[in-house]
Amino acid sequence: MAPALRLLLAFLAIGSCTAADHVDLWPMPKTVSHGTQRLYVSNNATMSMAGSKYSDGKAILKDAFQRMLDLMKLNHNADGANPSSSLLTGVNIVVLSTQDELGFEVDESYNLTVPTIGEPLHAQIEAQTVFGALHALQTFSQLCHFEFTSRLIGLNSAPWMISDAPRFPYRGLLIDTSRHYLPLATIKGVIDAMTYSKLNVLHWHIVDEQSFPIEIPSYPKLWNGSYSYSERYTMPDAIDIVRYAEKRGVNVLAEIDVPGHARSWGVGYPELWPSDSCREPLDVSNNFTFKVIDGILSDFSKVFKFKFVHLGGDEVNTSCWTETPHIKEWLNNNHMNVSDAYRYFVLRAQKIAISHGYEVINWEETFNNFGDKLDRKTVVHNWLGGDVAPKVVAAGLRCIVSNQDKWYLDHLDATWEGFYLNEPLKGINNTEQQRLVIGGEVCMWGEQIDASDIEQTIWPRAAAAAERLWSPLEQIAEDTRSATSRLSRFRCLLNQRGVAAAPLAGNGRTAPYEPGPCVRQ
C-alpha cells in the first residue's frame, strides 16, 4: 500500500478530529478535560507568580514564557484588537519548591487550568518545581493557535483542566558528533525540539573512532583527532550547551566509549594505541591510558553536572591486544585472557568515573559478559536484543532501553509506528523490577546524517517514542491509527516552529509523497 494512501485511510478511520471534540496534544497528558468555549490570548499577555515560592532568579520562567509567546505566534504579526470579553490576560505560575537545580528524577509534574470565568482571566499553572512549570508552558502553547481572521492567538475548547506527570524519569535522545560534526546551533535546535515533546536527556556521544572534536584541557592534544581545525568544541562551548539545555529542563549526558571506538584518541597521543598498525581498542597494559581517562572525566565533572556519565564498552574487538607483543606479554604476566582484560578495563574505568562523583552507564555488552562484576549502581544501556532488559532488572541493576530494531533513528526503514509501539517494560511483570527501568532513549547515530538532514531524520519518529516514555500506559494508543491524527498535527506544528520534521507517511527521513495539506503527508 502506498504510504500516502495508508495515512489517508488512518485519517478516515479516525474521523475529522476537530478541536472541539478531540485533544490535539502531544504527548498525551495524564488526565485532561475541556469544554467548548473559545478564548483569546491578549497580545499583551503577561506572566505573574502570585503565590509562588520560587523567585525565578535565573529567569528560567521569564525566558520560557517569552519563548512560548513567540512559538504561539509562529512568526505571524499578532496585532489584532483585543476583544472586550473571553480574553486571557496571561498566565500565573505557582512553583512550590525554591530549588532550580536540574537533577535526575526531579519532579516534573504540573497542573494546568485554563478557566472561562474570572476577572481578569488568566491561565493557572501549579508545579512542584520550575521544570514541571516548563512542561506546563509547552502544553499551554499547544492549546493555542494563530487566528488569521482576528490576527490574535486563539484557544479553543475552554475551560481546560490538565494534570500531568511523566511515566519514566529518563527520556533520552542520542546525538553523535564524532561521525559528523554538528554545529552548536544545530545542537541547540535539537534541544529546543526535544522540549516540545518533553524529552529530557540529551545523550551526547561526543567522540568515537572517527574523530575527537572536544577540548580536554588536561590532555590538550586529544582534539588533534578532530576532523579539522574548525570542527571542534571548546570547553566554554560545552558549558554553553549544558546551560542552554538545563535552562530548558534537559540534562546532558556525556559519553566517552572505552576501550573500543577510540582510535581517534591516538592521533594526539599515539601511546594510547596498541601499536601504529593496530590502533584499537585502547592499550589496556599502559597506565597512561587510565591517566587520560581520569583527566577527561576530571574535566567533564566541571562541565557535565548530570549524575551519570556514559562509558560505552560496546563492540570491543580485542584482537589487537593479542597481536601486539607488549600487551600479550602483559596479559601473560597478569594471568589474563582478552575477556579478563576487557572486564579489567571496564571496571577500572568505572572506578575512575565513580571517583569523580559519577554513576556509570555502560552499553549492554558489559552486562552480557560480566554483569555480576559491574558496580551495583551501573545502569545497563540495552541496544542489541529485546530480551536483555528483563535479565538486567532481574539481576537488580537499572536499565535504559534503546533496542536497535525499534529505537535507532539511523534505521531509515523503521517507521513511526514501530517507535510508538515499542514498550520498555515488555517481558517485565514484577513491579519492583519495572521500577529499575529508568526509561528509554532513541539514538541518532551519525554515520549518515549531518546538520543538513538531522532534523528530518529525528522527527517525528522520536516524538512517537516520547509519548511512550511520557504518557501513562492507559493513554497510549493500542492501535497507532488512533494516534495518527495527533502526531500528524504535532509534526506540522514542528514544521511551523522551524523544525524540519519529515512526513509521517513512509519510512524515516522521507519526502512528501504528493501535493496536499501538511496533516495528510
Which residues does the annotation mark as catalytic? 315
Question: At 359, which helix (H) or strand (E)?
Answer: strand 359-363
Residue bearing cell 560480566: 370
Tell me, what amino acid is at 322?
T
131 and 249 in contact (C-beta within 8 Å)?
Answer: yes
DSSP 465-516: HHHHHHS-GGGS-SSTHHHHHHHHHHHHHHHHTT--PPPSSSSTTPPP-SSS
CA distance 246 to 304: 11
> Quick one: DSSP state of residue 132?
H
Residue 514: other Cβ atoms inside 10 A: 10
Tell me, what amino acid is at 227?
Y
Q: Write 216-221 long-range contacts (CB < 8 A, 24+).
A: 216/295, 216/296, 216/299, 217/299, 218/295, 218/296, 218/298, 218/299, 219/268, 219/269, 219/292, 219/295, 219/296, 220/268, 221/268, 221/269
> Quick one: DSSP state of residue 384?
S
Strand ranges for 96-151 from DSSP E: 110-114, 121-127, 144-147
Write out the three cell numbers for 321.
Answer: 591486544
CA distance 34 to 262: 54
Q: Are strands 110-114 and 152-164 parallel, antiparallel or unpaired?
A: antiparallel
* Nearest alpha carbon to residue 184 among 124, 133, 240, 128: 240
C-alpha R_g of the chain: 24
508 and 411 in contact (C-beta within 8 Å)?
Answer: yes
**Phi then psi dihedrals of residue 120, to 5 deg:** -75, 165
Strand ranges for 270-316 from DSSP E: 308-310
**Phi then psi dihedrals of residue 226, to 5 deg:** -70, 160
In our burial notation (b when 16+ CB lie closer than 10 A, e otherwise), range 209-237 reads bbbbbbbbeebeebbebbbeeeebbeeeb
